[in-house]
Amino acid sequence: MLSSALLAIKAIRAFFTFLIRYILGIRFALNWVRAVSICIITLGLSLSPTITVLAQPKTQSTYTLTGKVIQVSDGDTLTIRGVENQKIRLASIDAPEKKSGSNRPAQPYSEPSREYLAKLVAGQTITVLCFEKDRYDRHICDIPVNQTTANRLLVEAGLAWANQQAGGKYLRDNDLLSLERQARAAKRGLWVEPNPVAPWVWRYRCWQQGQC
């Protein structure tokens, strides 16, 4: 009886010893698998190429207007008639100011500038590319002419400035700066004058301060 009891105790002890080793073996195996997985993931990340997501540039919304040019007010303003009359202000340029009342005299070359724009578009049905409206309810637009724009042609002819008012805030077409330098170097149009005054300076100095 005693030997039988001893054998039973040994059997129970052997069973529990096996069970403990089995459980520990599974835990070790799981830890080993986890460690290997982490190594593989880390290695994969280190070898994979770096992907940089670039922010997409914001596209500037534009719209078109079509109508017949019924009036050219000055070198950078005209009116077209479509469904209704629309006043257009040429984008990115500033032309010499015409006379606006007794206290607002005209700038030199204001009339040649107006005549030049009129020769390009007066009486024609045109489609203009616009960006926004200004505080005067005018559409700010580029005026396509052949393979270029009336905006560029005016600056190239020395009959308008690239608009650099407020540090270039209103300049959308940077190529106008180069065209202006070329016109200045060739002394075309208003650049034949020794010290031509930019329209935004003229409006402040002459019209507001009376220093014409």
| Active site positions, annotated | 89, 97, 138
Evaluate whether 153 touches 147 at the Cβ level (below 8 Å). no
Contacts of 154 (CB under 8 A, 6+ apart): 75, 76, 90, 93, 95, 113, 116, 117, 160
What spatial distance separates the first Cα and last Cα of the chain, rounded to whole Å?
131
Phi, psi of 51 (to 5 degrees): -110, 120
Q: Residue with structure tokens 């015409």?
A: 98
- Give the C-alpha separation, 28 to 23, whole Å: 9
Pull the structure tokens for residue 11.
């059997």
Q: What CA–CA distance (Å, rounded) separates 130 from 91?
A: 8
